[in-house]
Amino acid sequence: MASKSGESSSSVSGSSNALFCKCGVVSYNNLVQDYGIRTEWNPVLPSRTDTAFPLKEGKITLFSDFFNFCNFRLPVTKFCKLVLDHYRIHISQLHPLGLVELRQFEFACVALGHIPELIVFRAFFVLVWKSPFFTIDRRDTDVSCLRDIPTSSKDKDWKKKFFYIDASVIPDEMHRREKGPKDKVRDDGPSKDAYVSNALYTKLCGRPFECTVIPEGALVMAGMSLLWRDIKQYPSFRRDDAGIRLIC
Euclidean distance between CA atoms 66 and 94, whole angstroms: 9
pLDDT tens-digit profile, the chain (248 residues): 444 433 434 444 444 468 999 999 999 999 999 999 999 999 999 999 999 999 999 999 999 999 999 999 999 999 999 999 999 999 999 999 999 999 999 999 999 999 999 999 999 999 999 999 999 999 999 999 999 999 999 899 999 999 999 999 998 888 888 887 668 899 999 999 999 999 999 999 998 999 999 999 899 999 999 998 766 666 555 555 554 455 45
* Burial label, 44 (beta-carbon count in 10 A; 0-12, 13-18, 19+): middle
